[in-house]
Structure 1
Amino acid sequence: MKAGWTSLGQEASPVQRPGADPWAGGAWQYSDETSRPAPAAGPAAATRPLVTGNGTGAPRVAVSDGTTRFLATGPDGTPSAVAAAGVGVAGVTALAPDGTGYRKPPKKRRGLAALGILVLALAAGGAGGVVAEAIDDDDQGSGGSVTVIGADPAGLVERPPESIAGVAASVLPSVVSVSVADAGGSGFVISEDGYVITNNHVIATAGDAGIELAFFDGRRLDAELVGTSPSYDIAVLRVEADDLQPVVFGDSGSVAVGDPVVAIGSPLGLDATVTAGIVSALERPVTAGGEDDQSYINALQTDAAINPGNSGGPLVDSSGRVIGVNSAIASLGMGQQAGSIGLGFAIPIEQVQRTAQQLIADGEALYPVMGVLLDNAFVGTGARVADDGDNGPGVTPGGPADEVGIESGDVVVEIDGEQVRTPAELIVRLRAHEPGDDITVVIDRDGEELEFTLTLGSAVG
């Protein structure tokens, strides 16, 4: 039986079937004359007698206004469930719950009354059908009726692909949970033959304990480390499988502030968690990691909830395309790791793709350098080139900066028209490029601004 409202019995409208039995509880009859009793029902018009008082058959009720009312009866001659509920149909006045009747409209307004009766009969058709089926079941000696709970699954509406539910459904099969000895995080499949991307800091402590990936379909597979890039906080893993569903890459360069995004991963070990938000800012300089493996990210900022364990998972756009790798969060924790405060950061997917391709091809990745050592103690605006010291020369001999004439003590204030305010910001701006790119650098040398064009070198890491 399909759930929902439907008529299971006979036609309820006496207009469509004059003289028929509209409620499966006996024929209906009334008299237009209020000064005398209604004539007896003929064989063709009724199947049960109409009597007054408490006799068997359809009760007739006379009230003080002179009208006469008749009630429908069931198979045993008692008023049917419909009449007891106070439901009226064509030509009949039914009882209200308190036992009083409803008055038949005066004859002079019979046209309007007929229309109202027809509408009421149609509206009440479902109830009449239920009564009819119950009577039929009793006649057949069945043991009772069956109640169907819930809706027909075929009637469920599928979510639009661009909705959050649609995006989650398309991306979740590609997202994995990453487990190592004393840490965990997230990752996502980038090829059918088993390559997976995550953050370097997620697997940095793996050691000999190994790395295990848990997939959306329930499989748990050991992963091999292909290569890492601490500079970009990217790692590539591989599992022995050839039936995986890879993600679709998007274009982080075309993302605008305010675009909707979805973050997917395993925050606090809760795998397959989906959160949503918007892109809050672009090209946000972010430094992550420890002193030995610090990462400098020209990040996408989002207010989608990102917590410990989301690291390495995908940030996707409204079409389900990956535009970044969730990597860091801002925190108000005082010496303790805190949760999301609405400030999360993702590595742009273009950078991730370049680094991953290098790691897959060569096992190592390159990042661009200009050949200077920066003075982290500098408190002014810009990034000051350090003096020669124990850590090495401020300007690498023969490097890109040395070749164009940049000196120790110069303060870099601009790259390619973008202001540089801190040393970290300079590094982030540089690492948004590739080795071999030409950049324009503006430096402040003793109050004088000088402009240089140099070709970026490369380093491994």
Structure 2
Amino acid sequence: MAVSRALARARVHPPRVHPQRVRPRLLRASLALLAGAAVLVSGCSAGGTSSGSGPGRAKDTTTTQAAAPAAADDLQNDYLKVIKNVLPSVVQIQAGDALGSGVVYDDSGRIVTNAHVVGDEKKFKVTTAGDEGELSASLVYAYPEQDLAVIKLDKPPQGMRAAVFGDSSKVEVGHIVLAMGSPLGLSSSVTQGIVSATGRTVSEGGSGGGTGATIANMVQTSAAINPGNSGGALVNLDGQVIGIPTLAATDPELGNSAAPGIGFAIPASMVKTVADQIVKNGRVTDSGRAALGITGRTVVDARSQPAGVAVAQVKSGGAADRAGIEPGDVIVGLDGTAITSITSLSEALAADKPGDKAKVTYTRDGNRRTAEVTLGEI
């Protein structure tokens, strides 16, 4: 069995991201444009054994394929039904020299995807499932803080159907899921796995085209998530989109090569919250994300290890300002969680909501202090 080397020449640009609670480093599942990629797989067959009568020959045998168990047959039919119903709502997006995926959000031709897929582009080329023709689209709004964006087709084709988004709160570990998108530029591809975990808080690096977003309540899946899957659909067997595949894990001990079976999707409930605001208002008006109202930077100790977040600026009238936190203070804890970097602070805040009260531990002139802060909003 041979595979064309065209894929090996794909210009994939894996992003750099910061380590987080999930130990493996994370890789944005986006892809630099792959022109004319093709996979050539040779057929594999096994030779048969002749049979007949007479000395030295085996007796004639008749073999029949065992019938598949009913449960397996039903499962396969479920797969086929889901793919038939949902895949037409998953598109490929070309943004400049990068490729990603998207999901048709409504019948007006709006498509939801990742903010890191659209990048700084305002115009896009979209290819729908089963149609190699390119459609033009324009940016409606990108929200890097949650790594989500909405684009709109200039002329939606007749019969375009929006996907159905499910309730993320009903997603359970062990649920069978299908990931649909354009991995390595191979449009309308489908992979299969299960929900491996829920409630993951994951941070994406800000370098290499990443948004730097820290995203709470992500769905972890064993379904293959590869460059180009970003912005596609993670679908349950009811044909509902339960998440938008966004990140795949890599193993830093193996040269940041892919860690198979560890991918992350933004939960559908958050996707709907953000996309509905963009559709209604043209932007996000209520993030639902807690904030201290500071600009900070990671500081290191004498061993060059991250040791806290130095406050560079304080937003006037913001949460930190009202609590008496000043520029020059170094935040080292939030509600008992050690804060060593900007990433760890973002992850700690991701679990809170605007209006929640939090205890912030910080140092000033070498003295350790604690302040109760009523959190604001990003």
- Matched with 1:236 is 150
- 2:332 matched to 1:411? yes
Residue pair 2:333, 2:360 contacting (<8 A) in 1 also: yes
Structure 1 unmatched ranges of 5 or more: 1-96, 99-156
Structure 1 residue 370: Cα displacement? 1.9
Cα pair distance change 1:301/1:158, threshold 3 Å: closer
| Percent of residue pairs bearing the same amino acid type | 34
Deviation per residue, 1:245-281 (Å, 9 max, x gap) = 1111112223233322221101011111111112222
Kindly report which structure 2 residues correspond to 1:161-240, keeping only aligned pairs within 5 A, or say none: 163-204=78-119, 206=121, 210-218=123-131, 219-239=133-153, 240=155
Deviation per residue, 1:121-144 (Å, 9 max, x gap) = xxxxxxxxxxxxxxxxxxxxxxxx
Structure 1 residue 454: Cα displacement? 1.0
- Matched with 2:222 is 303
The higher relative CO (CA closer than 8 Å, separation ≥ 6) is in 2
Task: Compare CA radii of gyration and give the structure with the larger one.
Answer: 1
Provide the C-alpha distance between the structure 1 equivalents of 2:377 and 2:307, rounded to a whole number of angstroms: 19
Kindly report which structure 2 residues correspond to 1:21-420, keeping only aligned pairs within 5 A, or say none: 163-204=78-119, 206=121, 210-218=123-131, 219-239=133-153, 240-241=155-156, 243-291=159-207, 293-298=211-216, 299-332=218-251, 338-339=257-258, 341-366=260-285, 367=287, 368=289, 369-378=291-300, 384-387=308-311, 392-393=312-313, 395-406=314-325, 408-414=329-335
Structure 1 residue 456: Cα displacement? 1.7
Provide the C-alpha distance between the structure 2 equivalents of 1:329 and 1:186, rounded to a whole number of angstroms: 15
Provide the C-alpha distance between the structure 1 equivalents of 2:126 and 2:256, rounded to a whole number of angstroms: 24
Deviation per residue, 1:397-423 (Å, 9 max, x gap) = 3211221344523423338xx886753
* TM-score, length-scaled by structure 2: 0.67
Provide the C-alpha distance between the structure 2 equivalents of 1:161 and 1:276, rounded to a whole number of angstroms: 12
Bigger Cα displacement from structure 2, 254-263 vs 175-184: 254-263
Provide the C-alpha distance between the structure 2 equivalents of 1:409 and 1:261, rounded to a whole number of angstroms: 43
- Matched with 1:443 is 360
Structure 1 residue 386: Cα displacement? 1.4
Q: Secondary structure at the residue paired with 2:299?
A: coil
Deviation per residue, 1:141-191 (Å, 9 max, x gap) = xxxxxxxxxxxxxxxx99569833332222111111112331101111111
What is the Cα-based RMSD across aligned positions, in Å? 3.4
- Matched with 1:74 is none
Q: Secondary structure at the residue paired with 1:331?
A: strand
Provide the C-alpha distance between the structure 2 equivalents of 1:334 and 1:238, rounded to a whole number of angstroms: 41
Cα pair distance change 1:325/1:378, threshold 3 Å: farther
Provide the C-alpha distance between the structure 2 equivalents of 1:421 and 1:338, rounded to a whole number of angstroms: 27
Provide the C-alpha distance between the structure 1 equivalents of 2:331 and 2:108, rounded to a whole number of angstroms: 49
- Matched with 1:70 is none
Q: Secondary structure at the residue paired with 1:342?
A: strand
Q: Secondary structure at the residue paired with 1:357?
A: helix
- Matched with 2:374 is 454
Cα pair distance change 1:203/1:179, threshold 3 Å: same
Residue pair 1:351, 1:432 contacting (<8 A) in 2 also: no
Structure 2 unmatched ranges of 5 or more: 1-52, 55-71
Q: Secondary structure at the residue paired with 1:196?
A: strand
Structure 1 residue 196: Cα displacement? 0.4
Cα pair distance change 1:159/1:224, threshold 3 Å: farther
Q: Which has a greater percent of strand?
A: 2
Q: Which amino acid aligns with 1:438?
A: G
Residue pair 2:298, 2:340 contacting (<8 A) in 1 also: no
* TM-score, length-scaled by structure 1: 0.56
